[in-house]
Amino acid sequence: MTRTREDSPKTPDLATPLPPEMALACEAAGAAKAGRDAIGLVILGLLAGAFIALGAVFMTVVLTGAGDLPWGIARLAAGLVFSLGLVLVIVGGAELFTGDSLMIVAFASRRITLRALLRAWSLVYIGNIAGAIGTVALVFLAGHHEFASGAVGKTALAIATAKAALPTVQLFFLAVLCNVLVCLAVWMSFGARSVADKVLVIVPPITAFVAAGFEHSIANLYLLPYGLAIKAWAGAAFWTSIGQTPAAFPGLGVAAVLHNIAVATIGNLVGGSLMVGGVYWFVYLRPRR
């Protein structure tokens, strides 16, 4: 039997997609997300919340004992390891609220309605909350804060306290800048041809936002409640080991945590949807004569 041209192996297209093609891929992805069933969006959101929390766990460990390093070097190391979170989201397949800000592209192109957009964002955000808080419970019950003679817990408390003290305006703009970088990482992943490509385009922007001290609402859904859990329920032996008491962290309370997460969420949405998704839609996909 003779082989036809159709039977012959096809050579894979190894050309890297250009930005206009990436815009179309982003638009199609947004439409597909909006069409997914509710339970699927929540579960994928739960996974993403847990993945980002795991990146935050890794970051907390690396920052523990890094006080002897120059501040910038310690932040660089923290950013590199925190990248694990978005790598797991993109490569493993999950739905992250901050990255899904790019669904605005599908909305602007009239591929999805405003109702469908808000539905997807809401369900994913609910899942992200569940995943992050569930990870808080697991990590706390594992006694992770007691590692290194309590030094890991002390670092977690310091991180949470600093975030809880941020004033509203500063927090908002830190969150805007954060999600510009997160969404650029997601945007560039639309041009990746392999897992290695995706990892390579994700790590630099995520490292940059952590090193710069920008604010990510979903990461904060782990970092702040974890600090609260330590403050509220850590045993006496932990406080003795770090030489402090819960009274040393008066600014770390429920109201401060909710303020941080609410403002960071709004800032993240503005940075991702308007300053990345909106700009790329305008350049590549807006209707033209």
CATH of residue 93: 1.20.1080.10
- Please list, residue by residue across 200-220, b when 16 or more beta carbons sit within 10 angstroms of its beta carbon and e when fewer do: ebbbebbbbbbbebbbbbbbb
Range of the domain at 76: 17-284
Q: And the tokens for 130?
A: 């569940």
Is residue 218, in this structure, part of any structural domain at all?
A: yes
Is residue 8, in this structure, part of any structural domain at all?
A: no
Is residue 3, in this structure, part of any structural domain at all?
A: no
Is residue 6, in this structure, part of any structural domain at all?
A: no
Q: And the tokens for 192?
A: 């990746």
Is residue 5, in this structure, part of any structural domain at all?
A: no
Helices 38-63 and 217-233 sit at what angle, rounded to 10 degrees? 60
Is residue 65, in this structure, part of any structural domain at all?
A: yes
Contact yes or no for 86/52 (Cβ under 8 A): yes
pLDDT by residue for the chain (289 residues), tens only, comes to 444 444 444 444 556 788 999 999 999 999 999 999 999 999 999 999 999 999 999 999 999 988 789 999 999 999 999 999 999 999 999 999 999 999 999 999 999 999 999 999 999 999 999 999 999 999 999 999 999 999 999 999 999 999 999 999 999 999 999 999 999 999 999 999 899 999 999 999 999 999 999 999 999 999 999 999 999 999 999 999 999 999 999 999 999 999 999 999 999 999 999 999 999 999 999 986 5
Is residue 156, in this structure, part of any structural domain at all?
A: yes
The model's pTM? 0.92
Structural domain total, the chain: 1
